[in-house]
Structure 1
């Protein structure tokens, strides 16, 4: 009887202290950078979002303490003119990648709280329709920098 009680007690304790296994992240943000512009001019944020799930997921927002406002935008060409349009979401295809790059999707970053310094990094937190949030360090690059 003594062995049985010890065994039961040990089994009960093992069940209570088993660590919860976190679900793997479905999305990943990489190659994040911010274009530094002089003064209080709005800046652009660029990056790639990889969706490793079998279902599409929407990027629904971006937050940062470094700017007063962060909005999802898309540049659209209408023949000889180009405009920027605020969007509510950007869909990342299942098992695919969506690239935010100059001339296309980007994050419009307005009202910088401090002057941007080339060579530093700023964290951005990305929110997705499945409830996931991903934070990425974004390099501050000069206005003439290419995305790579």
Structure 2
């Protein structure tokens, strides 16, 4: 049996169209960075100076490698009755309801700036221990953090 050149071209054309369609669909909703227009969050540099009362401060850095911002909306911990977000301007500390984690940026909690306030401590965190907390975001799933307890005078710039 002889197959005309026209009929031999149909399977090749079908394969080419299928390949082009797959390439088009594969490219939808994603860029070469893998995170596209979504937040991609991680936490580093977490620590709590050992508290001297039933309140404590906490510090950390939330890094967003993604192409969209997110908002930190709350923090929870079994160690405290409540954990609130605060900012400091001059000598004034103010509670805030949420904080933005910019796309391709960081939200930094540090002494004299944004910080976490652990109130009504259920147990007294001790130097060398850790405090478990969960960060809740508007878009991303929660992140669980093990926050080391450092000396009350700890300064991350000096490591003491």
Which TM-score bucket, shorter chain as reference? Answer: 0.7 to 0.9
Q: Does 1:32 align with 2:46?
A: yes
Task: Give me the whole-angstrom Cα distance separating, in 2, the residues matched to 1:47 and 1:89.
Answer: 15
Uncovered stretches (5+) of structure 1, i.e. residues with no partner: 1-22
Q: Say how many residue pairs are matched.
A: 121
Residue equivalent to 2:101: 92
Task: Give me the whole-angstrom Cα distance separating, in 1, the residues matched to 2:73 and 2:44.
Answer: 17
4+ aligned runs moved over 3 Å, structure 1: none
Cα shift at 1:131: 4.1
Higher RCO structure (Cα 8 Å, ≥6 apart):
1
**1:13-32 superposed matches below 5 A:** 26-32=40-46
Residue equivalent to 1:3: none
Deviations 1:122-142 (A, max 9, x none): 111000110410001000011
Residue equivalent to 1:72: 85
Deviations 1:82-131 (A, max 9, x none): 11100011111101111100000000111111111100111110001104
Q: Over alpha carbons, which structure has the higher Rg?
A: 2
Residue equivalent to 1:52: 65
Uncovered stretches (5+) of structure 2, i.e. residues with no partner: 1-33
Task: Give me the whole-angstrom Cα distance separating, in 2, the residues matched to 1:32 and 1:131.
Answer: 19
Task: Give me the whole-angstrom Cα distance separating, in 2, the residues matched to 1:50 and 1:39.
Answer: 30
Structure with the largest fraction of strand: 1
Deviations 1:28-50 (A, max 9, x none): 1111111212232x110100000
SS of aligned partner of 2:155: coil
